[in-house]
Structure 1
Amino acid sequence: MARVCQITGKRPQVGNNVSHANNKTKRRFLPNLQKKRFYIPEEDKWVTLKVSTKAIKTISKYGITAVMKEAKANGNLVL
């Protein structure tokens, strides 16, 4: 599986390492992804998602059902 958050759609970004002498070399900024299990009470089952830490905070604030519904509407959720 790629390094993509299944809720927010965050992906690696590209940038530069910049030395003291201002030399630039390419680098990647990877999202902080965690593999986490969430319980969906409406379906009475557990799902495992690869989510960013920002998505975990969003899920704890709004609930897994509302966040998954929003992610499906945006086209980010892939199960």
Structure 2
Amino acid sequence: MRQCAICGKGSIMAGTRKLLRGHYNPTNWSRKYPNLQKAKLPSGKSGLVCTQCIKTMAKPVWAKAAPVGKAMPAVVASAK
């Protein structure tokens, strides 16, 4: 089975539902494949990687910010 070398995303089975006289009826199942492309892995080798991982690897690495709505510990200490 073809799958992403980084996240392990692979194919899934998906079915459609057709509306007929107010009721949804299942139809044939089909296999949905991830968008895999050949790319360089962080280890230096090349492999099949999904496009979502390619986009994530292209992002710069930033320092982790505080979650929205949460105060930083230094701010809480100075507010007292």
Q: TM-score, normalised by structure 2?
A: 0.56
Per-residue CA deviations over 1:50-74 (Å, capped at 9, x if unaligned) read 10000101111157xxxxxxxxxxx
Q: Which has the higher contact order (CA 8 A, sep 6+)?
A: 1
Structure with greater helix percent: 1
**Max radius of gyration: which structure?**
2
Identity rate, percent: 32
Q: Which runs of 5+ in 1 are unaligned?
A: 41-45, 64-79
Shift of residue 37, structure 1, vs aligned partner: 2.8
Q: How does 1:1-79 map to 2 (within 5 A)?
A: 2-18=1-17, 22=25, 24-38=27-41, 46-62=44-60
TM-score, structure 1 as length reference: 0.57
2:5 maps to amino acid: Q
Q: Unaligned stretches of 5+ in structure 2?
A: 62-80
